[in-house]
Structure 1
Amino acid sequence: MQRRSLLLAAAATPLALTGCASQSLSDYQAEKPVLDLARYFNGTVDAWGIFQDRSGRIVRRFTVVMDCRWEGNQGVLDEAFTYSDGSTQRRIWRLTKHADGRYTGTAEDVVGEASGQTVGNAFRWTYTLALPVDGTVYHVDLDDWMYLVDDRVMLNRATMSKFGVRLGEITLSFTKRTP
Protein backbone atom coordinates (compact mmCIF):
# COMPACT_ATOMS: atom_id res chain seq x y z
CA MET A 1 0.00 0.00 0.00
CA GLN A 2 2.80 2.41 0.90
CA ARG A 3 4.62 1.58 -2.35
CA ARG A 4 1.44 2.33 -4.35
CA SER A 5 1.12 5.72 -2.62
CA LEU A 6 4.75 6.56 -3.43
CA LEU A 7 4.27 5.59 -7.09
CA LEU A 8 1.07 7.63 -7.28
CA ALA A 9 2.81 10.66 -5.74
CA ALA A 10 5.77 10.29 -8.13
CA ALA A 11 3.43 10.12 -11.12
CA ALA A 12 1.43 13.15 -9.97
CA THR A 13 4.47 15.37 -9.29
CA PRO A 14 5.17 16.30 -12.93
CA LEU A 15 1.49 17.18 -13.40
CA ALA A 16 1.53 19.40 -10.33
CA LEU A 17 4.72 21.12 -11.45
CA THR A 18 3.28 21.72 -14.90
CA GLY A 19 0.51 23.74 -13.27
CA CYS A 20 3.19 25.99 -11.74
CA ALA A 21 5.11 26.50 -14.99
CA SER A 22 5.28 30.04 -16.27
CA GLN A 23 3.95 31.16 -19.61
CA SER A 24 6.12 31.14 -22.70
CA LEU A 25 6.08 33.46 -25.71
CA SER A 26 5.57 30.42 -27.94
CA ASP A 27 2.13 30.02 -26.29
CA TYR A 28 1.02 33.06 -28.34
CA GLN A 29 2.46 32.08 -31.74
CA ALA A 30 -0.94 31.62 -33.40
CA GLU A 31 -2.71 34.52 -31.66
CA LYS A 32 -4.12 37.37 -33.74
CA PRO A 33 -3.88 40.21 -34.38
CA VAL A 34 -0.12 39.96 -34.75
CA LEU A 35 1.65 42.64 -32.72
CA ASP A 36 3.97 44.96 -34.64
CA LEU A 37 5.40 47.21 -31.93
CA ALA A 38 6.56 49.86 -34.41
CA ARG A 39 3.08 50.11 -35.88
CA TYR A 40 1.21 50.09 -32.55
CA PHE A 41 3.55 52.49 -30.74
CA ASN A 42 3.48 55.12 -33.48
CA GLY A 43 1.50 58.28 -32.78
CA THR A 44 -0.21 59.01 -29.45
CA VAL A 45 -1.11 56.21 -27.05
CA ASP A 46 -3.01 56.73 -23.77
CA ALA A 47 -2.70 54.36 -20.82
CA TRP A 48 -4.35 53.86 -17.44
CA GLY A 49 -2.65 51.78 -14.77
CA ILE A 50 -2.39 50.57 -11.20
CA PHE A 51 0.40 49.23 -9.01
CA GLN A 52 -0.57 46.50 -6.54
CA ASP A 53 1.69 45.46 -3.68
CA ARG A 54 2.32 41.76 -3.04
CA SER A 55 -0.86 41.51 -0.92
CA GLY A 56 -2.92 42.74 -3.89
CA ARG A 57 -3.70 46.16 -2.41
CA ILE A 58 -3.69 48.98 -4.98
CA VAL A 59 -1.08 51.46 -3.74
CA ARG A 60 -0.77 53.71 -6.78
CA ARG A 61 -2.93 54.72 -9.75
CA PHE A 62 -1.67 56.58 -12.80
CA THR A 63 -2.27 57.69 -16.37
CA VAL A 64 0.28 57.90 -19.18
CA VAL A 65 0.27 59.85 -22.43
CA MET A 66 2.82 58.44 -24.86
CA ASP A 67 4.19 60.27 -27.90
CA CYS A 68 5.67 57.52 -30.09
CA ARG A 69 7.60 57.66 -33.35
CA TRP A 70 9.79 55.42 -35.48
CA GLU A 71 12.41 55.98 -38.15
CA GLY A 72 13.40 52.67 -39.68
CA ASN A 73 14.29 50.28 -36.89
CA GLN A 74 14.74 53.06 -34.27
CA GLY A 75 11.83 54.10 -32.05
CA VAL A 76 11.25 56.71 -29.34
CA LEU A 77 8.47 56.30 -26.78
CA ASP A 78 8.13 59.51 -24.77
CA GLU A 79 6.00 58.66 -21.71
CA ALA A 80 4.41 61.35 -19.49
CA PHE A 81 3.07 59.83 -16.24
CA THR A 82 0.57 61.52 -13.92
CA TYR A 83 0.00 59.78 -10.59
CA SER A 84 -3.14 59.88 -8.42
CA ASP A 85 -1.28 61.97 -5.81
CA GLY A 86 -0.63 64.66 -8.46
CA SER A 87 3.06 63.88 -8.99
CA THR A 88 4.43 63.47 -12.51
CA GLN A 89 7.27 61.57 -14.16
CA ARG A 90 8.73 61.29 -17.64
CA ARG A 91 10.48 58.31 -19.20
CA ILE A 92 11.85 58.33 -22.73
CA TRP A 93 12.48 54.90 -24.20
CA ARG A 94 14.87 54.54 -27.15
CA LEU A 95 14.13 51.24 -28.87
CA THR A 96 15.86 49.25 -31.57
CA LYS A 97 14.03 46.62 -33.59
CA HIS A 98 16.14 43.54 -34.45
CA ALA A 99 15.41 40.38 -36.46
CA ASP A 100 12.83 37.80 -35.36
CA GLY A 101 10.68 40.27 -33.43
CA ARG A 102 13.45 41.08 -30.94
CA TYR A 103 13.82 44.53 -29.40
CA THR A 104 16.32 46.26 -27.15
CA GLY A 105 15.85 49.56 -25.38
CA THR A 106 17.25 52.09 -22.97
CA ALA A 107 15.81 54.82 -20.77
CA GLU A 108 17.42 57.10 -18.22
CA ASP A 109 16.05 55.16 -15.23
CA VAL A 110 16.69 51.72 -16.74
CA VAL A 111 19.86 49.96 -15.59
CA GLY A 112 21.68 48.58 -18.63
CA GLU A 113 19.57 47.50 -21.56
CA ALA A 114 16.03 46.16 -21.72
CA SER A 115 15.35 43.24 -24.03
CA GLY A 116 12.20 41.76 -25.42
CA GLN A 117 10.52 39.86 -28.20
CA THR A 118 7.14 39.76 -29.94
CA VAL A 119 5.44 36.51 -30.90
CA GLY A 120 1.87 36.48 -32.22
CA ASN A 121 -0.10 39.10 -30.27
CA ALA A 122 2.28 39.13 -27.27
CA PHE A 123 5.41 41.03 -26.25
CA ARG A 124 7.65 40.10 -23.34
CA TRP A 125 9.96 42.85 -22.09
CA THR A 126 12.46 42.43 -19.24
CA TYR A 127 14.60 45.10 -17.61
CA THR A 128 15.98 46.50 -14.36
CA LEU A 129 14.54 49.80 -13.19
CA ALA A 130 16.24 52.27 -10.82
CA LEU A 131 13.26 53.03 -8.56
CA PRO A 132 13.51 55.91 -6.08
CA VAL A 133 11.67 55.30 -2.79
CA ASP A 134 11.91 57.73 0.12
CA GLY A 135 15.32 59.07 -0.91
CA THR A 136 16.85 55.68 -1.71
CA VAL A 137 17.15 54.18 -5.21
CA TYR A 138 16.44 50.45 -5.50
CA HIS A 139 17.19 48.34 -8.57
CA VAL A 140 14.11 46.22 -9.23
CA ASP A 141 13.48 43.70 -12.00
CA LEU A 142 10.45 43.91 -14.24
CA ASP A 143 8.98 41.05 -16.26
CA ASP A 144 6.58 42.87 -18.54
CA TRP A 145 3.98 41.12 -20.74
CA MET A 146 1.83 42.99 -23.30
CA TYR A 147 -1.09 41.51 -25.25
CA LEU A 148 -2.61 43.17 -28.32
CA VAL A 149 -6.40 42.87 -28.14
CA ASP A 150 -7.23 44.73 -31.36
CA ASP A 151 -5.76 47.55 -33.49
CA ARG A 152 -6.32 50.12 -30.70
CA VAL A 153 -6.24 48.26 -27.36
CA MET A 154 -3.34 46.50 -25.66
CA LEU A 155 -3.24 45.11 -22.10
CA ASN A 156 -0.06 44.99 -20.03
CA ARG A 157 0.84 43.11 -16.86
CA ALA A 158 4.26 43.38 -15.26
CA THR A 159 5.70 41.67 -12.21
CA MET A 160 8.18 43.67 -10.13
CA SER A 161 10.72 41.73 -8.07
CA LYS A 162 14.00 42.08 -6.20
CA PHE A 163 16.34 39.11 -5.59
CA GLY A 164 13.59 36.89 -7.03
CA VAL A 165 11.02 38.05 -4.45
CA ARG A 166 7.81 39.43 -5.97
CA LEU A 167 7.19 42.99 -4.76
CA GLY A 168 4.01 43.66 -6.70
CA GLU A 169 2.32 43.90 -10.08
CA ILE A 170 1.60 46.67 -12.54
CA THR A 171 -1.49 46.48 -14.76
CA LEU A 172 -2.04 48.84 -17.71
CA SER A 173 -4.59 49.32 -20.45
CA PHE A 174 -3.27 51.09 -23.57
CA THR A 175 -5.51 52.75 -26.16
CA LYS A 176 -4.05 54.03 -29.42
CA ARG A 177 -5.57 57.30 -30.57
CA THR A 178 -7.01 57.31 -34.05
CA PRO A 179 -5.50 59.94 -36.39
Structure 2
Amino acid sequence: MRSLRRTIAACVLLPALALGVAGLSGCAGTPVETYRTQQPTLDLARYFNGVIDGWGMFQDRSGEVKKRFHVVINAAWEKRDGLDVGTLDEHFEWSDGTTSQRVWTITRGADGRYTGRADDVVGAADGEAAGNALRWRYVLALPVDGSVWNVDFDDWMYLMDDSVMINRSEMRKFGLRLGEVTLSFRKR
Protein backbone atom coordinates (compact mmCIF):
# COMPACT_ATOMS: atom_id res chain seq x y z
CA MET A 1 0.00 0.00 0.00
CA ARG A 2 2.84 2.39 0.89
CA SER A 3 4.47 1.68 -2.47
CA LEU A 4 1.22 2.55 -4.26
CA ARG A 5 1.00 5.87 -2.41
CA ARG A 6 4.58 6.73 -3.37
CA THR A 7 3.84 5.91 -7.01
CA ILE A 8 0.72 8.11 -6.98
CA ALA A 9 2.69 10.91 -5.33
CA ALA A 10 5.43 10.62 -7.92
CA CYS A 11 2.99 10.55 -10.85
CA VAL A 12 0.52 13.21 -9.67
CA LEU A 13 1.97 15.44 -6.98
CA LEU A 14 5.45 16.02 -8.38
CA PRO A 15 4.26 17.15 -11.85
CA ALA A 16 1.60 19.34 -10.19
CA LEU A 17 4.29 20.90 -7.99
CA ALA A 18 6.52 21.47 -11.02
CA LEU A 19 3.65 23.17 -12.87
CA GLY A 20 2.92 25.31 -9.81
CA VAL A 21 6.54 26.47 -9.61
CA ALA A 22 6.57 27.19 -13.35
CA GLY A 23 3.33 29.15 -12.94
CA LEU A 24 4.80 31.24 -10.14
CA SER A 25 7.80 32.16 -12.25
CA GLY A 26 5.37 33.68 -14.77
CA CYS A 27 4.05 36.01 -12.05
CA ALA A 28 7.45 37.35 -11.11
CA GLY A 29 9.24 40.05 -13.02
CA THR A 30 9.82 43.74 -13.27
CA PRO A 31 6.99 45.91 -11.93
CA VAL A 32 5.76 48.59 -14.33
CA GLU A 33 6.55 51.16 -11.61
CA THR A 34 10.25 50.66 -12.48
CA TYR A 35 9.67 52.80 -15.60
CA ARG A 36 7.91 55.72 -13.82
CA THR A 37 10.71 58.22 -14.63
CA GLN A 38 11.29 57.06 -18.23
CA GLN A 39 10.41 59.50 -21.01
CA PRO A 40 8.48 60.11 -23.15
CA THR A 41 5.43 59.40 -21.00
CA LEU A 42 3.06 56.89 -22.58
CA ASP A 43 -0.54 58.07 -22.81
CA LEU A 44 -2.56 55.39 -24.63
CA ALA A 45 -5.29 57.84 -25.67
CA ARG A 46 -2.72 60.12 -27.28
CA TYR A 47 -0.64 57.42 -28.97
CA PHE A 48 -3.46 55.12 -30.10
CA ASN A 49 -5.46 57.85 -31.80
CA GLY A 50 -5.64 57.82 -35.59
CA VAL A 51 -3.95 55.22 -37.80
CA ILE A 52 -1.03 53.14 -36.55
CA ASP A 53 0.96 50.55 -38.53
CA GLY A 54 2.62 47.58 -36.86
CA TRP A 55 5.02 44.89 -38.02
CA GLY A 56 5.57 41.79 -35.95
CA MET A 57 6.47 38.14 -35.64
CA PHE A 58 5.65 35.13 -33.50
CA GLN A 59 8.58 33.00 -32.30
CA ASP A 60 8.10 29.60 -30.68
CA ARG A 61 9.89 28.66 -27.45
CA SER A 62 13.04 27.67 -29.40
CA GLY A 63 13.19 31.13 -31.01
CA GLU A 64 12.17 30.02 -34.49
CA VAL A 65 10.01 32.59 -36.30
CA LYS A 66 6.74 30.81 -37.12
CA LYS A 67 4.65 33.70 -38.48
CA ARG A 68 5.10 37.34 -39.47
CA PHE A 69 2.40 39.96 -39.82
CA HIS A 70 1.47 43.54 -40.61
CA VAL A 71 -1.35 45.20 -38.67
CA VAL A 72 -3.16 48.46 -39.36
CA ILE A 73 -4.93 49.93 -36.34
CA ASN A 74 -7.68 52.53 -36.64
CA ALA A 75 -8.02 54.06 -33.18
CA ALA A 76 -10.29 56.67 -31.60
CA TRP A 77 -11.25 57.74 -28.07
CA GLU A 78 -14.40 59.25 -26.65
CA LYS A 79 -16.01 60.08 -23.31
CA ARG A 80 -18.60 57.54 -22.11
CA ASP A 81 -20.21 58.07 -18.73
CA GLY A 82 -17.34 60.35 -17.76
CA LEU A 83 -14.66 57.77 -18.68
CA ASP A 84 -12.11 57.81 -21.53
CA VAL A 85 -12.93 54.84 -23.77
CA GLY A 86 -10.87 53.88 -26.79
CA THR A 87 -11.67 51.62 -29.74
CA LEU A 88 -8.72 49.99 -31.50
CA ASP A 89 -9.82 48.27 -34.71
CA GLU A 90 -6.90 46.00 -35.72
CA HIS A 91 -6.64 44.48 -39.23
CA PHE A 92 -3.94 41.79 -39.59
CA GLU A 93 -2.29 40.45 -42.75
CA TRP A 94 -0.29 37.29 -41.96
CA SER A 95 2.73 35.93 -43.83
CA ASP A 96 0.72 32.84 -44.85
CA GLY A 97 -1.76 35.05 -46.75
CA THR A 98 -4.56 34.93 -44.16
CA THR A 99 -6.20 37.96 -42.58
CA SER A 100 -7.87 38.57 -39.24
CA GLN A 101 -9.41 41.36 -37.20
CA ARG A 102 -9.55 42.18 -33.49
CA VAL A 103 -11.44 45.13 -32.02
CA TRP A 104 -10.32 46.27 -28.58
CA THR A 105 -12.42 48.46 -26.29
CA ILE A 106 -10.12 50.07 -23.73
CA THR A 107 -11.24 52.04 -20.68
CA ARG A 108 -8.87 54.33 -18.83
CA GLY A 109 -9.14 54.00 -15.06
CA ALA A 110 -7.37 55.82 -12.25
CA ASP A 111 -3.62 55.92 -11.60
CA GLY A 112 -2.46 54.63 -14.99
CA ARG A 113 -4.78 51.60 -14.97
CA TYR A 114 -6.56 50.35 -18.08
CA THR A 115 -9.12 47.63 -18.79
CA GLY A 116 -9.39 46.10 -22.25
CA ARG A 117 -11.90 43.79 -23.91
CA ALA A 118 -12.02 42.04 -27.28
CA ASP A 119 -14.01 39.11 -28.66
CA ASP A 120 -11.09 36.67 -28.36
CA VAL A 121 -9.95 37.90 -24.93
CA VAL A 122 -11.24 35.72 -22.09
CA GLY A 123 -12.62 38.10 -19.46
CA ALA A 124 -10.78 41.43 -19.43
CA ALA A 125 -7.21 42.54 -20.02
CA ASP A 126 -5.66 44.33 -17.06
CA GLY A 127 -3.21 47.10 -17.91
CA GLU A 128 -0.99 49.41 -15.93
CA ALA A 129 1.12 52.27 -17.30
CA ALA A 130 4.03 54.14 -15.74
CA GLY A 131 6.51 56.41 -17.51
CA ASN A 132 7.06 55.14 -21.05
CA ALA A 133 5.78 51.60 -20.36
CA LEU A 134 2.50 49.71 -20.27
CA ARG A 135 2.03 46.15 -19.07
CA TRP A 136 -1.04 44.21 -20.22
CA ARG A 137 -2.01 40.83 -18.77
CA TYR A 138 -4.78 38.83 -20.35
CA VAL A 139 -5.91 35.44 -21.62
CA LEU A 140 -6.36 35.11 -25.37
CA ALA A 141 -8.45 32.34 -26.98
CA LEU A 142 -6.18 31.16 -29.82
CA PRO A 143 -7.24 28.69 -32.50
CA VAL A 144 -4.65 25.86 -32.65
CA ASP A 145 -5.04 22.86 -34.97
CA GLY A 146 -8.84 22.85 -34.92
CA SER A 147 -9.25 23.59 -31.21
CA VAL A 148 -9.01 26.73 -29.05
CA TRP A 149 -6.32 27.23 -26.43
CA ASN A 150 -6.65 29.83 -23.69
CA VAL A 151 -3.15 31.33 -23.58
CA ASP A 152 -1.80 33.72 -20.93
CA PHE A 153 -0.19 36.87 -22.36
CA ASP A 154 2.24 39.09 -20.49
CA ASP A 155 2.38 42.04 -22.87
CA TRP A 156 4.80 45.00 -22.51
CA MET A 157 4.73 48.19 -24.61
CA TYR A 158 7.50 50.81 -24.55
CA LEU A 159 7.05 54.24 -26.12
CA MET A 160 10.29 55.20 -27.90
CA ASP A 161 9.23 58.60 -29.25
CA ASP A 162 6.03 60.30 -30.45
CA SER A 163 5.61 57.88 -33.37
CA VAL A 164 7.39 54.60 -32.47
CA MET A 165 6.44 52.01 -29.86
CA ILE A 166 7.98 48.55 -29.26
CA ASN A 167 5.78 45.70 -27.99
CA ARG A 168 6.95 42.37 -26.58
CA SER A 169 4.54 39.66 -25.40
CA GLU A 170 5.34 36.39 -23.70
CA MET A 171 2.82 33.57 -24.14
CA ARG A 172 2.28 30.80 -21.55
CA LYS A 173 -0.04 27.84 -21.10
CA PHE A 174 -0.21 26.04 -17.73
CA GLY A 175 2.77 28.19 -16.71
CA LEU A 176 4.91 26.83 -19.54
CA ARG A 177 6.43 29.28 -22.02
CA LEU A 178 5.05 28.78 -25.54
CA GLY A 179 6.82 31.64 -27.29
CA GLU A 180 6.70 35.37 -27.80
CA VAL A 181 5.42 38.08 -30.10
CA THR A 182 7.59 41.06 -30.99
CA LEU A 183 5.95 44.06 -32.61
CA SER A 184 6.98 47.54 -33.71
CA PHE A 185 4.34 50.27 -34.11
CA ARG A 186 4.64 53.48 -36.12
CA LYS A 187 2.00 56.17 -35.85
CA ARG A 188 1.10 57.79 -39.18
TM-score, normalised on structure 1?
0.86
Give yes or no for the alignment of 1:61 onto 2:68: yes
**Superposition pairs of residues 153-172 of structure 1, within 5 angstroms:** 153-172=164-183
RMSD: 0.7
Give yes or no for the alignment of 1:176 onto 2:177: no
Name the % identity. 61
Deviation at 1:27, TM superposition (A): 1.3
Give yes or no for the alignment of 1:90 onto 2:90: no
Give yes or no for the alignment of 1:124 onto 2:138: no
Deviation at 1:168, TM superposition (A): 0.1
Partners of 2:109 and 2:33 lie apart in 1 by 18
Which residue type is aligned with residue 32 of structure 1? Q
Deviation at 1:99, TM superposition (A): 0.7
Gaps of 5+ in 2: 1-27
Which residue type is aligned with residue 122 of structure 2? V
Partner of 2:12: none
Partner of 2:13: none
Which residue type is aligned with residue 65 of structure 1? V
**Superposition pairs of residues 1-179 of structure 1, within 5 angstroms:** 22-72=29-79, 73-177=84-188
Partners of 1:114 and 1:125 lie apart in 2 by 6
Deviation at 1:173, TM superposition (A): 0.1
Which residue type is aligned with residue 164 of structure 2? V
Deviation at 1:26, TM superposition (A): 1.5
Partners of 2:36 and 2:184 lie apart in 1 by 22
Partners of 2:128 and 2:47 lie apart in 1 by 15
1:20-71 CA-partner distances (Å, limit 9, x unpaired): x622211101000000000000000000000000000000000000000000
Deviation at 1:155, TM superposition (A): 0.1
Deviation at 1:132, TM superposition (A): 0.3
Which residue type is aligned with residue 44 of structure 2? L
Deviation at 1:76, TM superposition (A): 0.1
Runs of 4+ in 1 over 3 A off after TM superposition: none
Partner of 1:15: none
Paired residues, number:
157
**Secondary structure of the residue that 1:90 maps to in structure 2?**
strand
Deviation at 1:116, TM superposition (A): 0.3
Deviation at 1:118, TM superposition (A): 0.6
**Secondary structure of the residue that 2:111 maps to in structure 1?**
helix
